[in-house]
Amino acid sequence: MNSVRSILSRGMLIFLLMIPASIFAQTAGQALSIPYELNPFAAATVFAQTPGQAPFPPLSAEHQKFLDDVLRLWEQRSQSIQRYRCTFKRWEYDPVFGPRDTFKTYSEGVIRYATPDKGMFKVEKMMEYVAPAEPGGRPQYQQRDGDHHEHWICDGQSVFSHDPVNKQQIQMILPPEMRGTAIADGPLPFLFGAEAEKIKQRYWIRPLPMPPDVKGEYWLEAYPKRREDAASYKKVHVIIDHADFLPKGLVIFDRNFDPVRNPARSTFTFEQRETNWSIALQQLKFWEREFYEPKVPAGWKRVVENYDSPTGPERSAPASPGGGQRPNSQATRPAAGPPTR
């Protein structure tokens, strides 16, 4: 069950986070673009972390205000969302079980969200690395069978996920206190509607400098405070679009990420983002079907479990230093980049 929770937690991070493409990798009859991503090896100043403390030095007053303004505007924008949909692309890097110098898998799919607690993540296409037949040869990417694609749904009462290895559809029943708007505190961090202060309570977060040629974006770095979250990932890099104030890029760093020994990470881009589009009643009913209880695939069986929410010290670490007071309810839009030091 812990593995299921880990998968769901990583998947729903996508609603938290979301990077333009530049480099190209040749695949089987197809060129797959790899997005530019924040240098995972040199992005942050190395800072010795003590358990229960932020993994970076305290922010200056200017940087703290910039961060507060970005989070407050993100909160105000997200709370206005009733419906959300987008397509995504994902590149997964796994140097332990895959190549060291390129991605192991490339995926495309869709994300759906409806306030306050319904969501869907579905991979519709997946290409997997195949080692070259001869040393020095060109690597190939083969399409994976659709039965092995990730697909999960939260209908507000339960989370349904697929386990293709064991041919099981797992239904994880959420306790009453984790349904509705309270689900933001559970295994699925729906940050559409989450409060800025709750984000800071759950993550050590700071703004990051952007490349000089990038405009109209806010870049953030977040480290999980909760041990249950830290069991799934080490940190995340978030890119928020200045135009619609929604995440457009995300990098999830593996919990055992090491820039030299294990640079494992997943990089996402979020495209064709739409919110609160006009919809007729008949179309609304069809839209809502996205979140109905999914059918069990032929030859599979459903396994029903209750979500066991961790409590006490295992759930969260002490608050980060210099958390500050809750900013004013109306934040001013900051410049598209943190203050220079």
Cross-strand bridge partners of residue 236: 222, 252
**Amino acid at the residue 27:** T
pLDDT of residue 278: 85
pLDDT of residue 14: 53
pLDDT of residue 44: 41
C-alpha to C-alpha distance for 120 and 126, rounded to whole angstroms: 17
Question: Is the pTM above the cut of 0.75?
Answer: yes
pLDDT of residue 129: 94
C-alpha to C-alpha distance for 250 and 37, rounded to whole angstroms: 9
Closest CA to 67 of 228, 179, 203: 203
C-alpha to C-alpha distance for 7 and 172, rounded to whole angstroms: 12
Contact (Cβ atoms closer than 8 angstroms) between residue 105 and residue 93 = no
DSSP 8-state symbol, 178: G
The pLDDT profile of the chain, 341 residues, written as one tens digit per residue, is: 554 455 555 555 554 443 222 222 232 333 343 344 444 443 444 444 555 789 999 999 999 999 999 999 988 888 888 889 999 999 999 999 889 889 999 999 999 888 888 888 999 999 999 988 888 888 889 998 877 788 888 888 898 998 888 999 999 998 888 888 766 665 545 556 668 898 899 899 999 988 888 889 999 999 999 888 888 899 999 999 999 988 899 999 999 999 889 999 999 999 999 999 888 876 777 777 777 778 888 899 999 999 876 554 444 444 443 343 333 445 566 666 666 54
Contact (Cβ atoms closer than 8 angstroms) between residue 102 and residue 94 = no
3-state helix, strand, coil in the chain (%, to 5): 20, 35, 45
Structure tokens at 291: 């979140």
C-alpha to C-alpha distance for 154 and 148, rounded to whole angstroms: 19
Contacts of 1 (CB under 8 A, 6+ apart): 172, 305, 308
pLDDT of residue 333: 67
pLDDT of residue 135: 82
Which residue segments constitute the domains of the chain, with CATH numbers given? 2-37+57-314 (2.50.20.10)
